[in-house]
Structures are given as structure tokens and as C-alpha cells.
Amino acid sequence: MANMNDNTTKVYYALDEQMVACHDKDDVQSRRQAEEIAHDLIKNADLPLLIRCRALCVLGCSDEGDYVHHAEQSVYFAKLGLAATQEKGGDDTDGKRILRGCEKGLAAAKVAKAVADAKAATTASTESAEVQAEQDNEQDGEEDEEDNEDDDDEQVVVIRDATYEDEEDVDDDGEEELVWHAGWDEERKAEAWAKHDRLEAAAAAAAAGEGDATAASAPQTRGEKAEEAD
């Protein structure tokens, strides 16, 4: 049983050495390997405190979502290890050094978390502003389209020098304003042109001194000409 415990401890320290070596390398693959070893190590309840602290420090330096928690745990176990050494009256130099390293790792993890949170908040705010701007642009586009539809729906034709007495059709300049809606069918357009031609004929007759012109004396309208042609 004692030999098995000794072998287990040797395995732990061998993995610890491999983990630290991988973590010290400046490449993503090695750091990922170090983190995998750290995860495997901390699963063992009988793991020596020194190795547990280092494994938690490695995870505290990672970009995993719970890296701050791992860093906090490394400080906790470093304090336990230091206290145990001091109670036995042993040399606490290494324990204090390990604790300082864990505390620095925790501080760095908290800074990294604050930066990541601020970046995420900025990104979310920017995306929200972009979405709002896009919605505003879409709304403005819809309003412009509605305005254009309104403009297309009503076209004003001014007939100059009107001499008839229909006040509703005469503006302040004595000119008739014929309102033409884009949605009108051909029959309504023909009626509008017919009124136009009758008024023109009346005005021409009055100007020539031919007396009061009526709608009956007006020449054929465009609509009537079109009907004859059909």
C-alpha cells in the first residue's frame, strides 16, 4: 500500500513538472495541454497542496469562463499549505513564495475579467446602437417611401387663364388646379380631361366674344376621341 502511494505521488509530481513545462511555452497548443493536465490533477483528493496550487494557478491563467474562481482557489490552498508548514515549525519560505505567486495570479485574473467584461459591454452597446441605427434607417426609408408614394399619388395640372366661375377649381392666381391621382383608372382620367377641355373651350369662347360658353358647345374631349377611335 505504501509503495502504491509513493508511486502515485511520483506520478503527480511528474505530471506537475510536465504541466509547468507546457505552461511556460508560448504557444496555444502547449498551454492547452497544460490546462488539460491541471484539470486531471485537481480531480484527485489526495493531491499534494503544492501541486494543487500550481494546477489551479495554470487554470487561473487560462481563458476559461471560471478562471477567476480557479485563481481564488489557488490562493485558498496556498494559504492552507503555508499554515500547515508553519504549524509544524518547518521552513515557510517556499510556502510564502507560492502564496505570493498565487495572489499575483488572482490579481491578474481579476484585471483580465474586468477588461473582458468592459469589452463585452462595449461590444453589446455598439451592436445595440447599430441595430437601433439600422431600425431608424429602415423607418426613415419607409417614411421616405410613403412620402414618395404620396407625391406619386397626387399630380397637379395647372390650366392657365381660366375664365369660368367655379371657385373651387380656381386658385388665387385665377388658374385652375386639376388634381390627378395616380390610382385613377382610365375612365376617371377621361372625365378629368373632359372637364379640362370644356373649361378650355369656355375660356376660348369668352375671350373671342362669342358669349357664354357651355359644356355642350365644347369640342370632343380626349376621352371621347379615344372612345371613337376604339
Sites in the chain below the pLDDT cut of 70: 1-4, 140-184, 209-230
Claim to verify: residue 79 and residue 158 sit in the same structural domain = no
Q: What is the pLDDT of residue 123?
A: 85
Kindly report, residue by residue over 46-55, the tens digit of the pLDDT: 999 889 999 9
Q: Are residues 202 and 109 in the same domain?
A: no
- Report the domain count for the chain: 2
**Residue 211 sits in which domain range?**
149-229
Whether 141 is in a domain gets the answer no
Determine the pLDDT at residue 206: 76
For residue 62, tell me if it sits in a domain.
yes
- Is 18 found in the same domain as 90? yes
Residue 221 located in a structural domain: yes
- Confidence at residue 216, expressed as pLDDT on a 0 to 100 scale: 46
Instruction: Tell whether 156 and 102 lie within a shared domain.
Output: no
pLDDT for res 40: 94
Question: Could you tell me if 49 and 109 lie in one domain?
Answer: yes
Please indicate, yes or no, whether the overall pTM of this predicted structure exceeds 0.85: no
User: What pLDDT score does 59 carry?
Assistant: 94
Residue 124 lies in a domain: no
Q: Are residues 62 and 114 in the same domain?
A: yes
Question: Residue 56: what pLDDT?
Answer: 94
| Confidence (pLDDT) at 189 | 73
Question: Does 169 lie in the same domain as 111?
Answer: no
Asked if residue 140 belongs to a domain, the reply is no
DSSP notation for the chain: -HHHHHHHHHHHHHHHHHHHHHHHSSSHHHHHHHHHHHHHHHT-TT--HHHHHHHHHHHHTS-STTHHHHHHHHHHHHHHHHHHHHHTT---HHHHHHHHHHHHHHHHHHHHHHHHHHHHHHHHHHHHHHHHHHHHHHHHHHHHHHHHHHHHHEEEEEESS--S--GGGB-TTS-EEEEEETT--HHHHHHHHHHHHHHHHHHHHHHTT-----GGGS---HHHHHHHH-
